[in-house]
Structure 1
Amino acid sequence: MLPFAQGQLAWPDGPALFLRARDGAALRQFPLAQLVCEQSFRPDAELLERAGLRVVADAANDGARYPLVLVLPPRQREEARALLARAVQLVAPGGIVVAAMTNNEGAKSGEADLKQLTGIAGSLTKFHCRTFWTRPLGETVDSALLAQWSSLDAPRRIEGGRFLSRPGVFAWNRIDPASALLVECLPTDIAGHGADLGAGWGFLSLSLLERCPGITALDLYEAEARALTLAKGNLGSVTSSARLDFRWHDVTAGLPERYDFIVSNPPFHTQSRADRPDIGQRFITAAAAALKPGGRLWLVANRHLPYEQTLNDSFGEIRVAGERDGFKVIAATKARR
C-alpha cells in the first residue's frame, strides 16, 4: 500500500480487486466498500470476513474487470506467474496491477516477471519487501506470454496419471514421503466415521479408503480451497461405500464432529515457510477433543518437532508406529474415561 500512501498511485473511486488478499492496518487507510477480496486460504479468508470485507472464491466468476488489481503473489514460481497473468486478465482497459512480495520469497523475480509480461511503471522497497506496478494497461501486454502463463498452475496428472494436482499446493508434484510412511503404518482394521486433517490433494484419504473397508464415513478438512478441489477430483472415482464430506476449514479452530479415528500429516510452517510447530500442536489438541473415548489418532511428523508433551497431555496411550528418513508415525489412543 506504500505507493498509495505516498501519493505515487491514486486509489480508485470505483471497485478494486485484491488477489490472495490479506487484512492489515495499511489496507485500512483507504475506502474499502467496493474492494473485492479473493482468498482461497481459509484462515486468511475468515480474517477478511470478520473485518467486514467482501470475500469471493473466484473473482472471474462474475465477469467483472477492475481499474485496480492488487496481488500478493505466492512463493512458488509457476503459481505466481499464473496469478500475475490472472491479475492482468482481470484489469479493466487503462487499469493497473500492483503487486508486492517479501524479498526472501522471490520479490526480485516477481518484479522481473511482471516487467516481462506488461512492463513496469515503478517500484518501491521497504520493510524487506518490494512493491511494483504496471502502467495503465492496453496494448503493451505480451498476449502470447499471457496465454502461456495463464495455464502454468492448471490441474494436471502426476504419479503416472494416478492423481490430479497443481503447482502451489503442498507436495504438488509427488507423494510426500511422510504421508507415504503414514500409509504404510496404518492398520487395515480402521473403521467407523473418521477424519483427515490437512487433507491436501487427497492422498491419505484415498489410501485409507483403499486399505480399510470398515470405514463408513470420512471427512476431509483442508484450509486451502485449491487443494480441496483437487481432493474432490481424486476421490471422485474411489470404489468405496463410505460417505465423503469435503470441508474448507481451519483445523486449528477446532472440529465440529466426533470421530472414531483421525489421520493427519499436519503442517508445521506458514505459507511463507516460517517454522510454526504450534500449528501441528493445535492439530493434535483439536484431534483429541474431537475423538470419541477409545478413538485413535494416526499422525506423521518430523522427528525434531516438539509434539510429545502435547500428545502426553491429550491422549491415554501413545506409541511410535514407524520411523524413516527423519519422520515418525505416532499412534495415539484417547483414554476411555
Structure 2
Amino acid sequence: MTAAGLFAVAPDSALAAMFVPFESAQLSLPAEGRVLFLRARAGVRLRETAQPGWLCEQGFKPFADELARIGMQVGEPAAGELFPLVLVLPPRQRDEARALFARALTHVAPGGSVLASMPNAEGAKSGEADMARLAGPVQHLSKHKCRVFWSTPAADRVDQALLTEWLALDAPREIVDGYVSRPGLFAWNRIDHASALLAGHLPHDLRGRVADLGAGYGYLACQVIARCPNVGAIDLYEAEARAIGPARTNLARAGRESGRDVELAVHWHDVTQGLPQRYDAIVSNPPFHQGRADLPELGRAFIVSAADALVPEGRLLLVANRHLPYEAILGARFREVRQLATQEGFKVIEAVGVRS
C-alpha cells in the first residue's frame, strides 16, 4: 500500500461533493483557469477538472506527495496573490478551520468565490455559519453526506475585524509547561497522556543519535533531551508541516535548558517511506487512525521504518493503545520485545536488537 493509501480516507466524500456546484452549473470555473486549493487532496475529480493554473496547498506530506505524483502544482500562494476561485477542504478543529477561511478571503480576487466542502459529521453546519459570519451571504447544497457552501464576498460585507482575529488563530502559542503548539496538531493544547507515559519510562541510558517519529510539536524529543544525558543528537520526523515551527521552537528550548551541546534537527517527512539515516534509538507515539477510523497499518508502517533505520543493537521505545496489534510485527523485526508499562488503556513497549 502506498503512503497516500495508508493515510487516505476512502471514499473521500468531501472532495467528490466539492465539484457538484460546477456540475450543476451553480458555479463556473474561472475561464483563465487560476484556482487556489487550500488543504487540497488528490482524487479522480481533481484530476479530471484541474487546469495548469491551479495551485494546491497541502501541508501533510503524504497528501502533498500524492498531489505532486498526479501532476498538480503544490506550494503556497505569495502574499497578496489573488485568485478568482479559492477552494477549501476545512479541518474539523474549529480554530484551524476559521483561520483557513480567513486565509481564503485574503487570496480571493474581487468578484471571485470561496467554496468549501465538509462532511456533515465533522462540523459542516458550523463551518457554513462561520463562513457566513466572515464573508456575508452563502449558498449551499448537500451531497455524499457533506455540505458544500460558497460565497462571493463583497468588500463591504466582509467583517474585517473578524478577519484579522481569525487570521491570528493559527499562530503558534504557548500551551502548557512552556511548550509551543498551534490548533489542529495532535493533542495541540495539552500534553498527550500516552506520550507522557512513554516519557516517564524512557531508559536513562539511551545514548548516541535518537529519532522521534511522528513528533508533533516535539514533546517526546524534548523529554529525551531532558531525561537521557548521553543522547548527543536527536532528529524529529513529522508529516504535518504546521508542526515544524513549534517543534523547532520547543526543541531549541530543550537544548538550551539541558546545558549540553545536542545536535538538533526537525524534518518534514513521511515516516512510512523510510528514514534517511541510522539511529541508536528511536522513540515514537505512532499515529493509529485517520479521521474517526482505526488504521493500525499506520503504526505497523512506523515500526517497519524504525527497524530498518536502527543499528543492529538499536532500541525502539513506543507507546500505543492496548488494543492495537503491534506485537506480531515487533516480534518479527526484533529479537527482544518487552512491555514496560500499561496504564489508562496504553502500553509502553521496548524492542531491542533488529533481526537481520
What is the 5 A alignment of 1:220-259?
A: 220-237=236-253, 238-239=255-256, 240-259=260-279
Shift of 1:136: 4.5
Is the deviation greater in 9-18 or in 72-81?
Answer: 9-18
What is the 5 A alignment of 1:244-283?
A: 244-270=264-290, 272-283=291-302
Q: TM-score, normalising length from structure 2? A: 0.90
* From 109, 118, 126, the counterpart of 1:109: 126
Q: How many residues align?
A: 333
Q: TM-score, normalising length from structure 1? A: 0.95
What is the 5 A alignment of 1:1-337?
A: 1-14=19-32, 15-56=34-75, 58-59=76-77, 61-160=78-177, 162-237=178-253, 238-239=255-256, 240-270=260-290, 272-335=291-354
Change (3 A) 1:247 1:151: same
Alpha carbon RMSD of aligned pairs, Å?
1.3
Percent pairwise identity: 55
Q: Which whole-Å CA distance do the structure 1 matches of 2:142 and 2:158 have between them?
A: 24
Structure 2 regions of 5+ residues with no counterpart?
1-18
CA contact (8 A) 1:182 1:300 kept: yes
Shift of 1:31: 4.0
Q: Which whole-Å CA distance do the structure 1 matches of 2:218 and 2:154 have between them?
A: 40
Q: Which whole-Å CA distance do the structure 1 matches of 2:64 and 2:187 have between them?
A: 23
Q: Which whole-Å CA distance do the structure 2 matches of 1:200 and 1:78 have between them?
A: 18
Shift of 1:260: 0.8
Is the deviation greater in 91-100 or in 23-32?
Answer: 23-32
Which string of whole-angstrom CA distances, capped at 9 and with x for unpartnered residues, describes residues 27-84 of structure 1?
123242001111110000000111111111x42x343111110000000011111111
Q: Which whole-Å CA distance do the structure 2 matches of 1:268 and 1:246 have between them?
A: 22
* Corresponding residue of 2:4: none
CA contact (8 A) 2:307 2:354 kept: no
CA contact (8 A) 1:269 1:276 kept: yes
Which string of whole-angstrom CA distances, capped at 9 and with x for unpartnered residues, describes residues 243-293 of structure 1?
1121111111111211111000001111x2321111011111111111111
Letter in 1 for 2:124: A
Shift of 1:197: 0.2
Q: Which whole-Å CA distance do the structure 2 matches of 1:159 and 1:325 have between them?
A: 21
Letter in 2 for 1:13: A
Shift of 1:212: 1.3
Is the deviation greater in 206-215 or in 27-36?
Answer: 27-36
Shift of 1:106: 0.8
Is the deviation greater in 277-286 or in 130-139?
Answer: 130-139
Shift of 1:142: 1.2
Q: Which whole-Å CA distance do the structure 2 matches of 1:48 and 1:28 have between them?
A: 9
Letter in 2 for 1:252: T
Shift of 1:334: 2.1
Which string of whole-angstrom CA distances, capped at 9 and with x for unpartnered residues, describes residues 213-239 of structure 1?
211221110000111211001112323
Over 3 Å off, 4+ runs: none
Q: Which whole-Å CA distance do the structure 1 matches of 2:169 and 2:199 have between them?
A: 30
Shift of 1:336: 6.5
Structure 1 regions of 5+ residues with no counterpart?
none
CA contact (8 A) 1:294 1:336 kept: no
* 3-state DSSP of counterpart to 1:316: strand
Shift of 1:176: 0.5
* 3-state DSSP of counterpart to 1:334: strand
Shift of 1:104: 1.1
Change (3 A) 1:2 1:184: same
Q: Which whole-Å CA distance do the structure 1 matches of 2:209 and 2:111 have between them?
A: 54
* 3-state DSSP of counterpart to 1:299: strand
CA contact (8 A) 1:95 1:137 kept: no
Q: Which whole-Å CA distance do the structure 1 matches of 2:154 and 2:299 have between them?
A: 44
